[in-house]
Amino acid sequence: MQLKSRRDRVLLRLVVTAMFMAINILLSMSTFSIPVPGGHLYLNDIVISLSSILLGPVYAFVAGGVGAFLGDLFFYPKAMFVSLIVRGLQAVVISVVSHYVLKKHPIVASGIGVTLGAIINVVGYTFLKPWFYSFVTGSFEAAFADAVIKLPWQILMAVGGAVIGMIICWPCGIHKLYDKMFERKY
């Protein structure tokens, strides 16, 4: 595919971003989650990691942060603002590291990015979610205790999303398709 103008590139990036955002929203549904004691493992971490490796920071924020916000708005509204902040920051950090750090070693840069993104995810949901929930329940301690109980699952979800996102991007070759679409070379 030959993109003739800047407008064509922007339009294609918007379409790809919207696609990732739609998949993020879809994977926020309980239907596509894995039930675990005390909650669910959601699979949208995979698409947040993958889209953030491929897209620039602004587009990654929209696909990851806004997508997670909308997914929670539709399916679990109590967490929507936490998701916007945590997932948005996670997506931007992964994207910035993947695109601007170690340019000659994009796989290593992506690995560092998704690792930092997983840390942001776990820390953000462990500490920010109870703080937001305490406004609703009136008890930070109870909300924090619940977050600590869910911490192992949160870690598993974040690490699993980072690893699977990396596998889909690099060994499975999605980055080649994306780079070919935008005529990008390393």
pLDDT tens digit sequence for 91-149:
999 999 999 999 999 999 999 999 999 999 999 999 998 888 787 777 888 888 888 99
Please give the pLDDT value at position 2: 63
**Per-residue pLDDT averaged across 37-63, rounded?**
95
Q: Supply φ then ψ for residue 41, to 5 degrees.
A: -95, 115
Q: Is residue 186 domain-resident?
A: no
Q: Is residue 67 domain-resident?
A: yes
Tokens standing for residue 46: 């995979």
Please give the pLDDT value at position 89: 98
Say if CB 86 and CB 124 are below 8 A apart.
yes
Please give the pLDDT value at position 8: 87
**Per-residue pLDDT averaged across 158-162, rounded?**
97
Residue 3: which pLDDT band, with cuts at 50, 70 and 90? low
Residues forming a β-bridge with 34: 41
Q: Is residue 50 domain-resident?
A: yes
- The CATH number of the domain holding residue 89 is 1.10.1760.20
- Asked whether the predicted pLDDT for residue 186 surpasses 70, the reply is no
Q: Is residue 130 domain-resident?
A: yes
SS (H, E, C) the chain: CCCCCHHHHHHHHHHHHHHHHHHHHHCCCHHHCEEECCEEECCHHHHHHHHHHHCCHHHHHHHHHHHHHHHHHHHCHHHHHHHHHHHHHHHHHHHHHHHHCCCCCHHHHHHHHHHHHHHHHHHHHHHHHHHHHHHHHCCHHHHHHHHHHCHHHHHHHHHHHHHHHHHHHCCCCHHHHHHHHCCCCC
pLDDT digits (tens, 9 = 90+) for 19-34: 999 999 999 998 889 9
Domains: count for the chain:
1
Please give the pLDDT value at position 185: 57
State which residues form the domain around 176: 6-181
Please give the pLDDT value at position 86: 98
Q: Is residue 171 domain-resident?
A: yes
Spatial separation of the C-alpha atoms in residues 32 and 132, rounded to whole Å: 25
**Per-residue pLDDT averaged across 36-41, rounded?**
86
Q: Is residue 169 domain-resident?
A: yes
- Asked whether the predicted pLDDT for residue 69 surpasses 70, the reply is yes
Summary mean pLDDT of the chain: 92
Q: Is residue 1 domain-resident?
A: no
**Per-residue pLDDT averaged across 143-167, rounded?**
94
